Amino acid sequence: MITDNVLVAFSGGSYSRVVLQFVHEWQVKVLKNYEASRDRSLPVFGVGVAFVDESTALSTKTSDAVALIQSTVLSLSPPAKDLHVVPIESVFGSDSLEERDRLVKLLDSVSDETGKEDLLLHLKMLSLQKIVSENGYNRLVLGTCTSRLASHVLTATVKVCCLLCPH
C-alpha cells in the first residue's frame, strides 16, 4: 500500500547525494517494517529521482553527469527508483529545437548574471514541478546546504529593500 510518492531532485552534488541516500534508507526501513507487520497496514512510499539538465542554458555538455547520475541511482539496493532526466527547456513544450531556441532567447534577454541565475533557478523549479505533476508524485525533496539557504535569504532581503527604497 503506497501512500506517498516522493521525488528527489538530484544534481549529483554532495548535498543531493546525502538526501537521496537518506530517503532511500528511510524507504528501505519503512518497507521492512511493512513486510514485518501482520496486518500490512503501515504506510509505504515510492521514490523517484529527477535530474534537470541545464546544459542548453549553460552551454555545456552533461553526458558524463547523466551517466554518473544513472549509475548512482542504479547502484541503490531495491526497491528500484524511477529516474527522470529532463532538459530545462522542456518547461516550454515538446519540440526540442523550438524549446532550445526559446530558452536561449529568454536568457539572452536578461542582461545581468544574478537575474540569469534567478531565472534558471525558477525554470529548474518549474521543471521539477512538471515532473511531479506528470508522474504522480506528491512530495518533492531538495538537498540544499545552509550556505545556499542563507544566500537565498540575503538575496530576497536585498531585493525587497531595493523595491521598498528606490534609489
Q: 113-134 vs 96-108: helix axis angle to the nearest 10?
A: 150
Q: Which three cell numbers stand for residue 124?
A: 529548474
CB-neighbour burial class of residue 53 (10 A; exposed 0-12, middle 13-18, buried 19+) = buried
Where are the chain's structural domains?
Answer: 2-164
E strands of 104-165, at which residues? Answer: 139-141
- Quote the DSSP letter at residue 50: E
Contact 154, 119 (CB under 8 A): no
pLDDT exceeds 70 at position 166? no
Q: pLDDT (tens digit, 9 = 90+) per residue, 51-109?
A: 999 988 888 887 788 899 999 999 998 898 999 999 999 998 877 788 989 999 999 99
Question: Per CATH, the architecture of 2-164 is what?
Answer: 3-Layer(aba) Sandwich (3.40)
Report the alpha-carbon distance of residue 23 to residue 111 in Å, rounded: 39
Residues 34 and 42 sit within 8 Å (Cβ to Cβ):
yes
Task: Report the percentage of the chain scoring pLDDT > 70.
Answer: 91
Tell me the mean pLDDT in the region 118-132.
Answer: 94
Between CA 102 and CA 18 the distance in angstroms is 34
What residues are paired with 84 via a beta bridge? 50
Q: What is the DSSP letter of 81?
A: -
The pLDDT score that the predictor gives to residue 83 is 97
Q: What is the pLDDT of residue 139?
A: 94
